[in-house]
Chains A and B, each alone.
Chain A
Amino acid sequence: MGIESNDHALLTALRDGDERVFSDLVERWSGLMLRLALAHVESRAIAEEVVQDAWLTVLRSLHRFEGRSTLRTWVLGIVVNLARSRSRAERRATLASSESIVDPARFLAADHPRWPHHWAVEPVPWRTPEDNLLADETRNVILEAVEGLPAPQREVLVLRDFEGLTGGEVCNILRLTDTHQRVLLHRARSRIRNALERYFAAPETT
């Protein structure tokens, strides 16, 4: 695969020392890079360091970039690798475990005579108009839930749902199979929905 034409223009400009092009890329991609780094490191300050390291690595390695992926995929892969190695140094990896999408206790038993595996405790409407999902308080509920995700789920959620990248690009950046990517995404989304449910659908006190 050759270098994409848009990437070709970017690479030429960077190699020619076009500072505006570099500054623009830093502006456009660093927010996402910070979020990816924060999937692995605890502090904002360390995430900034990781992103800075990533850009320096990009500059050092640019002459070796062959266009097997897009430039963005390559850059994001670099930040993911650096953040992952920082997290190994910082703290023990948390064990991945099989988990339920929804608390199993909310479903009827498999041997229920009429409604096996149907809702026992149904979801209830959220007592909020959708606009409230954008309120600061709700955003904090979401961000806290995101911070509680295992790193692999958080990486996928950030790339897919915060930034809207395609499944294919996310698989390339994170080196995941398509199936695994969807499993992680689904678990992550489900956990965030559950957090919103706890927040919005808490039983009213009577």
Chain B
Amino acid sequence: MIDQRLPEMPCRELVEVITDYLEDRLSPIDRSRFEAHLAECEPCRLYLEQFRQTIRALGRMPEESLSSETRGALLAAFRGWSSH
């Protein structure tokens, strides 16, 4: 149920607080305003879905790794370090 007494959360405010929403850091009132707005606003639902897609894509980027030269140098340093 939408609480009619709460001031509406306009689109411009909603896009500012999406991470707070996803991290569950909105106040209960703002969370209600957020969800009430979302239920009524197709473009904001699309925006939120694209935001989530972005986060998922970031979590699946290829790994970086050190060059074998640097790794070799580090292992040599470790051997030197542990023999003291």
- Cα separation A69 to B80 with both chains bound (whole Å): 27
B18 touches A186 (CB 8 A): yes
Q: Which residues of A contact B75 (CB under 8 A)?
A: 19, 22-23, 26
Interface residues of A in 88-115 (CB under 8 A from B): 101-102, 104, 107, 115
Interface residues of B in 42-79 (CB under 8 A from A): 43-44, 46-47, 50-51, 53-67, 70-71, 73-75, 77-79
A142 touches B63 (CB 8 A): no
Number of interface residues of A (CB under 8 A): 55
Q: Which residues of B contact A116 (CB under 8 A)?
A: 10
Report if A164 contacts B (CB, 8 A).
yes
Number of interface residues of B (CB under 8 A): 44
Report if A138 contacts B (CB, 8 A).
yes
B13 touches A117 (CB 8 A): yes
Report if B3 contacts A (CB, 8 A).
no
- Cα separation A101 to B54 with both chains bound (whole Å): 14
- Cα separation A116 to B42 with both chains bound (whole Å): 16
Q: Which residues of A contact B61 (CB under 8 A)?
A: 139, 142-143, 162
- Cα separation A191 to B7 with both chains bound (whole Å): 28
B46 touches A125 (CB 8 A): yes
Using CB atoms and an 8 Å cutoff, list the residues of chain A in contact with chain B: 14, 16-17, 19, 22-23, 26-27, 30-32, 34-35, 48, 51-52, 55-56, 59-60, 101-102, 104, 107, 115-119, 122-126, 130, 133-134, 138-139, 142-143, 157, 161-162, 164, 167, 182, 185-186, 189-190, 192-193, 196-197
B59 touches A161 (CB 8 A): yes
- Cα separation A31 to B45 with both chains bound (whole Å): 34
- Choice from B43, B47, B73, B77 contacting A59 with Cβ under 8 Å: B77
Given contacts A17-B83, A19-B78, A182-B25, contact A134 B60 (CB under 8 A): yes
- Cα separation A30 to B65 with both chains bound (whole Å): 6
Given contacts A17-B83, A59-B77, A133-B57, contact A196 B50 (CB under 8 A): yes
Interface residues of B in 1-50 (CB under 8 A from A): 10-13, 15-16, 18-20, 23, 25, 41, 43-44, 46-47, 50
Q: Which residues of A contact B66 (CB under 8 A)?
A: 26, 30-31, 34, 48, 51-52
Q: Which residues of B contact A60 (CB under 8 A)?
A: 81
Q: Which residues of B contact A52 (CB under 8 A)?
A: 66, 70, 73-74
